[in-house]
Amino acid sequence: MSGGHFEYAQYRIQSIIDSIEHELKKQGKEKPKKELWNRKEFYDEYPEEKFFYTYPKEIQKEFKKGVKALKIAAIYAQRIDWLLSGDKSEETFLEQLKEELDGVK
């Protein structure tokens, strides 16, 4: 499929999704040494600084809701792009849109 009606801007939505999911996955994990910028004494005094921040549960919940909304937005942007670019018929647009939206978690 060629698409291009939106100059492929819809792929930026996936980049945002990936970034949010990465933030969720790294919570509470130890930072790699290359990200520890301070002296050893600092981390002895503030050991929590050696770990990635863990967001409160209600914030995590909203991040996950945002990811779901962005996934829906990405699906709409892609499907509409292909329809407007002449890559898909109206019938195919509706079928594939429904199928993909049904798969969003």
Question: In total, how many domains does the chain have?
Answer: 1
CA atoms within 13 A on the CB side of 12: 4
Q: Is the dihedral of CA 27, 32, 34, 39 positive or negative?
A: positive
* Domain with 56 in it: 10-102
Q: Quote the DSSP letter at residue 55.
A: -
Say if residue 68's pLDDT is above 60: yes
Report residue 96 as tokens. Answer: 């594939």
Residue 2: inside a domain: no
Does residue 45 form part of some domain? yes
Which stretch of 9-13, 44-48, 70-74, 85-89 has the lowest confidence by average pLDDT? Answer: 85-89
Dump pLDDT digits (tens) for 7-66: 778 889 999 999 999 999 999 999 998 889 989 899 999 999 999 999 999 999 999 999
